[in-house]
Amino acid sequence: MTVNPIEMQKALGGVNYPASKQEIVDQADKHGAGKEIMSALKSLPSKEYDSPAAVNKEVGKGS
């Protein structure tokens, strides 16, 4: 799955880190993230993420 990192960061705007997977998914949903981004975020392991870079890194592993 290829996710545009710029679109990912837009979707994650306003997330207060550290954040749980659920907080990240909820925030992306509020920002109207596309299907690919939502799918990528929903497939993340359930844990705390300390930065947007940590989210991007984890999403990248799933590619």
Tokens of 37: 């981004």
> What secondary structure does DSSP assign to 5-58, as a single string?
HHHHHHHTTT--SSEEHHHHHHHHHHTT--HHHHHHHHTS-SSEE-SHHHHHHH
Of 43, 44, 52, whose CA–CA distance to 17 is shortest? Answer: 52
Tokens of 2: 């290829």
Q: What is the pTM of this model?
A: 0.89
pLDDT at 42: 96
pLDDT at 3: 85
Residue with tokens 């710029």: 6
Residues in the chain where the model's pLDDT stays below 50: none
